Structure formats: structure tokens, C-alpha cells
Structure 1
Amino acid sequence: MSTGPTLRVYLGPGEEPSGNGPADAVSSGAANPRPFRSRRRNRHGRGLRGELIPAHLAGFRSRSERFDTWVLESAQRLERLWGESIQSYQFVVQDIPPGLEELAATRGNIPFGAGTPAAGPKPAVITVYRHPIESAARGLVPVSELIHDVVVEQLATLIGMDPETVDPTYGRFRPL
């Protein structure tokens, strides 16, 4: 009774071929075939030809990487304005705010960010939510400027000042 052909997997020169039966002799082909990893994507011996997208093009970084960079640039802008007092704050990026389903069900306002004051040894944290900001900025406001406005709002709330006092350029790209 024949069980059919068996699949043989050969991983490298240091490993013995797996499988059994007469199908092994037929499937081997050569005495020492090349390992699977060197055959993969190198069928004709040319290898990888280079980067999929060059570093100078916009698609090189993902949207989340660009968003993280914009939050970092916003924190650096505020550090230039306020000096070392900003260095005690921690900036965090999350995809969506917690409890988003309940907010959407009650048609409440979806927050763009949150500020948590310092508590003992833990520093103050400014959290920026990526998906709500990207959805709100679509076509109306540059995403980087909306991120900066959200960071300024959260910092102003934590400090107890007006956002215009924290950064004089606050709100300049908001539609009227």
C-alpha cells in the first residue's frame, strides 16, 4: 500500500535530509543540493538587487514611523522654547485612546491626546493618539502641525497655562 509521495525538507549542509521511502531518492536530484536559504530569492544567482524603496523617497518610512518623528520634532520645538524644564516630560504615542468603543457609541468627543501629571518618581506623561489625529487632519491641516498643537495643548494643561503662552505659533494652521 503506497502512502503517496513524501515531502523532503533539506535545511542546510550540516543536517541530514528528512523523509523516508523511495520518494527520497527521486526528490534528492543532486548529491549535495544547495540549502533552502541560499536558493530562496536567489534563483538565478543574482541575489537581492538593493533596497525596495530608497531612503530619500517618502515611502521609505512607515506612517507610524513618520508620526513618531513628528512627535519628537514637536517636543524638540518646545525644548528650544522652554529649555530644560521640558526634559522632565515623557512623550508617548499610542494608536487609539483607551475606551474608544464607548466614546464612539455615545458619540462623545474622541481625544487627540492626554496628559498625566507626575506622581512621585514617575514623570509627567503626554500621550498622543495617532489614529484620531490622522483622521482629523486628513486634507484640512498638516499632520505635523496638528500633532504639535495637541502636544502644546497637553503641556499647557499640565503646566496650567494657555496654549498660546506655551507656544506663540499654536493654532496657526487650524481652519477658521
Structure 2
Amino acid sequence: MRAPLYPAGAPAARTRAERFDAVVLEALEPIEDRWGAELEELDVAVDDVPDVAAAGPDDDGVVGDGEIPLARLVPAGVDRRGAPTRARIVLYRRPLEVRALDGEDLADLLHDVLVEQVAEYLGVEPDTIDDAEE
């Protein structure tokens, strides 16, 4: 007999990816509250793992832990079809989860990575972003 252990709407029934997305939104909220107008042209995305063949850790806009990228700022540009693309921060879920000891540590790590990436996008020091939240 196979059936879900929890009802579909219960928090315990969410996948790891869904729980991660919720922590990302929570970590991003205070930054957006303060810098919302400046971040209107910026998207935040989550990938499971980085494509290390496409972008090495020495590339601009990459926040990493040694050789493993944790996040990447992708500038606005043009895609293969010639359509304009928006700037986006890509967070890599698995490398971030592996480095976190628990849920609170993950939230702190995500906050730090988002502060660095938003500062890079805005061309300011990370302390400027962090100070604005206090």
C-alpha cells in the first residue's frame, strides 16, 4: 500500500526544493524591502547544481566555496534568439544545502550570498546592503 504520509497542503509534504525556495524568499525579503526599486530588473533563480563546465569559479559574479560555485550573477544580455534577457542571481541549491549545518545556518548562508550578489549587481560594497537592513 503506497500513499503520501502527509496531506498535500501540509508543510511536511513539501519537497526539499520547495523548502529551499521558501528559505530563499525569506532571506530575500528584507533586501527587497529596502532595495526593491533598484532590484526591479533583477530576477532570482535556483538551480540544483552549477554547470561547472560553463562557468569556472574565477568568473566575475560567482560566489563560491573553493572550487564550488554557490551562486552566480548573470548580467542582462541577449539570448541565442536575439531576445533581451534580464539580470539574474542564480543560487545553487545542493552546494548551499551541503554547507549548512541546519535550517538556521542555511538561512544565514543564503542571506550572506544574496547580500554579496545584490551588492555586485548594484555596484556597491556588501556592507552597504547589510547596513541598510539593520
How far apart, CA to CA, are the structure 2 residues paired with 1:109 and 1:141?
24
Unaligned runs of 5+ in 1: 1-39, 42-47, 171-176
Larger Rg: 1
Deviation at 1:141, TM superposition (A): 5.7
Question: Residue 86 of structure 1: SS of its match in structure 2?
Answer: coil
Unaligned runs of 5+ in 2: 57-65, 79-83
Identity fraction in percent = 37
Deviation at 1:86, TM superposition (A): 1.3
Aligned amino acid, residue 32 of structure 2? E
CA offsets 1:21-79 (integer angstroms, 9 cap, x no match)? xxxxxxxxxxxxxxxxxxx98xxxxxx8xx631545x5221111011112222332211
The number of residues matched between the two structures is 117
2:128 is matched with: 165
- Cα gap change, 1:140 to 1:123, in 2 (>3 Å): closer
Question: Residue 85 of structure 2: SS of its match in structure 1?
Answer: coil
Give yes or no for the alignment of 1:72 onto 2:25. Answer: yes
Give yes or no for the alignment of 1:130 onto 2:103. Answer: no
After TM superposition, list the pairs within 5 Å mapping 1:104-119 onto structure 2: 108-119=66-77
More relative contact order, 1 or 2 (CA 8 Å, 6+ apart)? 2
Query: Structure 1 length normalisation: TM-score?
Result: 0.56
Deviation at 1:124, TM superposition (A): 0.8
Query: Structure 2 length normalisation: TM-score?
Result: 0.72
2:107 is matched with: 144
How far apart, CA to CA, are the structure 1 residues paired with 2:12 and 2:103?
22
Q: What RMSD in Å do the two structures reach over aligned CA positions? A: 3.0
